[in-house]
A and B are shown apart, each in its own frame.
Chain A
Amino acid sequence: MKIYISILLTAILTENFVLSKFLGICPFLGVSKKLNTAVGMSTAVIFVMALSTAVTYPINKYILKTDYAYLQTIVFILVIAALVQLVEITLKKFIPALYNALGIYLPLITTNCAVLGVVLLNITKELNFAQSMFNAVGGGLGFMVAMVMFSGVRERLESCDIPKSLQGLPIVLIAASLVSVSFLGFTGLVDGMFG
């Protein structure tokens, strides 16, 4: 039990995908303008991360094994992309409400590096299936935490008097780096709790 909580906390706080691994920066900067789009996007990310981990884990274990580890990247991209498309079609047919909520975000994250990152990291860390799932959900939650926090920061930025040369993306990048620095404060937290 302890190890699952520690995996979850590590993925959310100390090894946050966006703020300390710098994966998934594109949706992080692109859709964090408003809180509701940020939440929608992060829900989709959690969903896709969990799903792709569930599918790629057996593929890696029973088809690729260690001999063909170099095929991981290309096979995983292929599988994740196809899978998300399939899920999108299924959602549209059977759960239109969920499709309306996640619909626009799902195709955006099919080939996102954070999603690919989480499945590859699961393998590098040699986690078993349950641990991989926890890591994936934690990674998604960490993405959500970063997105929600940053959308708050950006809503504040809107009303700030920003020097002309920094307006737009530059100030957003600076703000993102400051938020990222604040997440350095979590270093050693999980080790201290469970180590």
Chain B
Amino acid sequence: MEPIIFAVIVVSAIGRISGLGLAIASKVMAVPVDEKAERIQEILPGANCGACGFSGCSGYASALSKGETTNTALCNPGGNEVSKLIAGIMGLDAGEVKPSAAVVLCQGNNRNASKKLNYSGVLSCKMANQLFGGPKDCIYGCIGFGDCVEVCPYNAIHICNGVARINPINCRACKKCINVCPKHIIELMPLYEVKAAVLCANKDKGALTRGECMAGCIGCMRCVKACESGAITVTNFCAKIDYDKCTGCGKCSEVCTMKCINIIDLNKIVSKVI
């Protein structure tokens, strides 16, 4: 037999065998693809933030398509729009996503808060927190090294004068910063509603707090007395506002001795820019 013919036979035979093998294998071992899950995953923002409580966007999509959850409103970054689209695919009622944005509960910037040490280690809140609770006198407040800035997928957080500030326009309420903050002082606040917020988390006694920060809550109870809707409670010398009860009247802010209660109107900020 001529060598060239043998070569042709060998190559074409191997090609045919492997082609046939692949064709059979793809029939025999075909995995049924969940079409609904794929379509939902295309709609979801793809930030894989985990705000929904599932392992990323694909986890939420497959949970929805398998009927493990019927709540279409779990995706904070996607908001109402995504909720409606998912509901359309699944034939469910669209849940209402309450638009919200994260807020850092601290005003201890370089002017207000005094320092107890000059930190020169790794610039990370998590690291600094292990060394006497950070460089500031107040061990409850924002350290300002920007762990939250690093983790924010939407570039919404910046360090302003030593304190993290969140831009409500960019914030998608994915809760990544809330989980990473070693001081646990970031929380979600309703967007498009006027609410009062205590921008302090200091749980020391009043006199101590005064020494640590010029804008710290001393637990003087004046806001509690001024509030007409009973939304404010003081525990551990720090006021806390129930956003469901708060009407945003602003009386607490007027009487606050330390000026640490702010009326937050995220809507105003958002509409001003847009």
A74 to B11, CA, bound (A): 8
Q: Are B31 and A86 in contact (CB under 8 A)?
A: no
Produce 1/0 per residue, B1-44, CB < 8 A to A.
Answer: 00100110011001100110110011001110000000000000
Q: Are B29 and A78 in contact (CB under 8 A)?
A: no
Produce 1/0 per residue, A84-96, CB < 8 A to B.
Answer: 0110011011100
Interface footprint category on A: 10 to 19
Given contacts A68-B3, A78-B11, A79-B14, contact A93 B21 (CB under 8 A): no
Q: Are B11 and A71 in contact (CB under 8 A)?
A: yes
Q: Are A92 and B29 in contact (CB under 8 A)?
A: yes
Q: Are B10 and A64 in contact (CB under 8 A)?
A: yes
A71 to B15, CA, bound (A): 13
Task: Tally inter-chain residue pairs, CB-CB below 8 A.
Answer: 43
Interface SS of chain A: helix
CB distance from B160 to the nearest CB of A (A): 22
CB distance from B172 to the nearest CB of A (A): 23
A64 to B26, CA, bound (A): 29
Interface footprint category on B: 10 to 19
Produce 1/0 per residue, B29-65, CB < 8 A to A.
Answer: 1110000000000000000000000000000000000
Which residues on the B side are within 8 Å of A71 (C-beta)?
A: 7, 10-11
A63 to B7, CA, bound (A): 10
Q: Are B25 and A75 in contact (CB under 8 A)?
A: no
Which residues on the B side are within 8 Å of A89 (C-beta)?
A: 22, 25-26, 29
Q: Are B22 and A75 in contact (CB under 8 A)?
A: no
CB distance from A159 to the nearest CB of B (A): 12
Q: Are A75 and B6 in contact (CB under 8 A)?
A: no
Which residues on the A side are within 8 Å of B10 (C-beta)?
A: 63-64, 68, 71, 75
Interface SS of chain B: helix
Contact of A86 among B3, B6, B15, B21 (CB under 8 A): B21
Q: Are A78 and B31 in contact (CB under 8 A)?
A: no
CB distance from A21 to the nearest CB of B (A): 27
A82 at the binding interface (Cβ < 8 Å): yes
Given contacts A89-B29, A90-B25, A92-B31, contact A68 B7 (CB under 8 A): yes
Produce 1/0 per residue, B179-197, CB < 8 A to A.
Answer: 0000000000000000000
Which residue of B has the minimal Cβ distance to A76? B14
Q: Are B31 and A82 in contact (CB under 8 A)?
A: no
Which residues on the B side are within 8 Å of A79 (C-beta)?
A: 14, 18
A86 to B20, CA, bound (A): 11
A67 at the binding interface (Cβ < 8 Å): yes
Q: Which chain A residues numbered 72 to 125 have a C-beta less than 8 Å away from chain B?
A: 74-75, 78-79, 82-83, 85-86, 89-90, 92-94
CB distance from B38 to the nearest CB of A (A): 15
A94 to B28, CA, bound (A): 12
Which residue of A has the minimal Cβ distance to B26? A89
Which residues on the B side are within 8 Å of A59 (C-beta)?
A: 14
Given contacts A75-B11, A90-B29, contact A82 B22 (CB under 8 A): yes
Q: Are B7 and A78 in contact (CB under 8 A)?
A: no
Q: Are A82 and B18 in contact (CB under 8 A)?
A: yes
CB distance from A55 to the nearest CB of B (A): 10
Q: Are B11 and A82 in contact (CB under 8 A)?
A: no
CB distance from A24 to the nearest CB of B (A): 23
Which residue of A has the minimal Cβ distance to B29? A93
A55 to B269, CA, bound (A): 65
Q: Are A67 and B3 in contact (CB under 8 A)?
A: yes
Which residues on the A side are within 8 Å of B6 (C-beta)?
A: 68
Contact of A82 among B7, B19, B29, B30 (CB under 8 A): B19
Which residues on the A side are within 8 Å of B7 (C-beta)?
A: 68, 71
A71 to B12, CA, bound (A): 12
Which residue of B has the minimal Cβ distance to A71? B7
What is A's interface to B at a CB cutoff of 8 Å? 59, 63-64, 67-68, 71, 74-75, 78-79, 82-83, 85-86, 89-90, 92-94
What is B's interface to A at a CB cutoff of 8 Å? 3, 6-7, 10-11, 14-15, 18-19, 21-22, 25-26, 29-31
Q: Which 6 A-B pairs have the closest CB atoms?
A: A82-B18, A93-B29, A89-B25, A89-B29, A92-B31, A86-B25
A-B contact pairs, 9 of them (CB 8 A): A59-B14, A64-B10, A68-B3, A71-B7, A78-B11, A79-B18, A86-B21, A89-B29, A90-B29
